[in-house]
Amino acid sequence: MRILVRTSKWAIWARRCGSFALPLVVIPVFMHRGRVITSQTFETVEMVAMGIALLALLLSLGAFIRLWLTGDLGWGRAFAGFALSLLCLSPIGIGLIDFLKYPLAGEVSTDPANPPPLLSNVSLVSVPAADPARIAAAFPNAKTRRYPLDAQKVYDLVTKLVDDRGWEIRLQHQPANGFDDGQINALAMTLFGWRDEVSIRIAGDPEGVSVAMRSASLGAIHDPGVNGQRIEEFLVSLDTRVSLMMHDEPAGSATADNDADPTAAPADDASQ
């Protein structure tokens, strides 16, 4: 007598739901980044995709239990549904970790008392009194920089860094001289396609130049921690560029002095 072994319907539907959820999660990300769909549409589609992925996870867990008890076929389908569901739900897990790790703030500024201005009309949620300390602790390198250079040179470095990152520049105000102020406003894109505005103020004075930076999320839903991380990464890169420039400046200055006064005596001769 032939014994018929069934394939678990739980396992079949777990894989089907997982296979359907994966492209529903991934494809809208590229469409959102390319501005094919709006942020509201993207968020709606992603919520539906996450719901289907959660269903696939529950079905796969139910399939594991049923397969263990009944001996039906379908272990491969159940594992496929389980793996696909976890892959689709991984952004939620990463987001929860970031929400626990970083303060819940829609913007980060190196100068909270006088932040660089924004161009976008964005309603920012006020930061609780305890959060500035958390922001400072979470992003220790997000601090206003001061360099012993003129504003024009630092402005050129900042502009090059903005271009290297592919940010969409909305406003450029170049300092008229080494002691004037400059401003750059640009839109930066997150991994999932949300737009944030970055505002950078370059303020010159007789003692050098200061660089203040602000990064603000333009939507209610955003990647937690991304604003502070963006500021830290940018300013650390600017520190490196400034250090290289200052390292090369003395040689350039000495060359310029010698060219200006070719009759000047060498240092060794003068000491004699």
pLDDT in tens, 68-82: 988 888 999 999 999
Q: Mutual orientation of helices 226-260 and 151-164 as an angle, nearest 10°? A: 130
Write down the pLDDT at residue 100. 84
Q: Please give the Cα distance from 132 to 210 (Å, whole number).
A: 21
Share of the chain above pLDDT 90, in %: 59
Given a cut of 90, is residue 257 above it in pLDDT?
Answer: no
Hey, where are the domains in the chain? 9-101, 107-251
Residue type, 28: P
Average pLDDT for 151-156: 93
Q: Mutual orientation of helices 39-70 and 75-101 as an angle, nearest 10°? A: 130
Average pLDDT for 19-27: 96
Given a cut of 60, is residue 270 above it in pLDDT?
Answer: no
SS in 3 state form for the chain?
CCCCCCECHHHHHHHHHHHHHHHHHHHHHHHHHCCCCCHHHHHHHHHHHHHHHHHHHHHHHHHHHHHHHHCCECHHHHHHHHHHHHHHHHHHHHHHHHHHHCCCCCEEECCCCCCCCCCCCCCCCCCCCCHHHHHHHHCCCCCCEEECCCHHHHHHHHHHHHHHCCCEEEEEECCCCCCCEEEEEEEEECCCCCEEEEEEEEEEECCEEEEEEEEEECCCCCCCCHHHHHHHHHHHHHHHHHHHHHHHHHHHHHHHHHHHCCCCCCHHHHHC
The pTM of this model reads 0.79
Average pLDDT for 21-37: 95
Write down the pLDDT at residue 259. 40
Using 50, 70 and 90 to split pLDDT, how confident is the model at 120? confident
Average pLDDT for 187-213: 92
Q: Please give the Cα distance from 200 to 109 (Å, whole number).
A: 10
pLDDT digits (tens, 9 = 90+) for 124-135: 545 554 477 888
Given a cut of 70, is residue 104 above it in pLDDT?
Answer: yes
- CATH topology for 107-251 is TATA-Binding Protein (3.30.310)
Given a cut of 60, is residue 263 above it in pLDDT?
Answer: no
Please give the residue that has the higher pLDDT: either 272 or 146: 146
Write down the pLDDT at residue 5. 60
Using 50, 70 and 90 to split pLDDT, how confident is the model at 7? confident
Averaged pLDDT score across all residues of the chain: 85
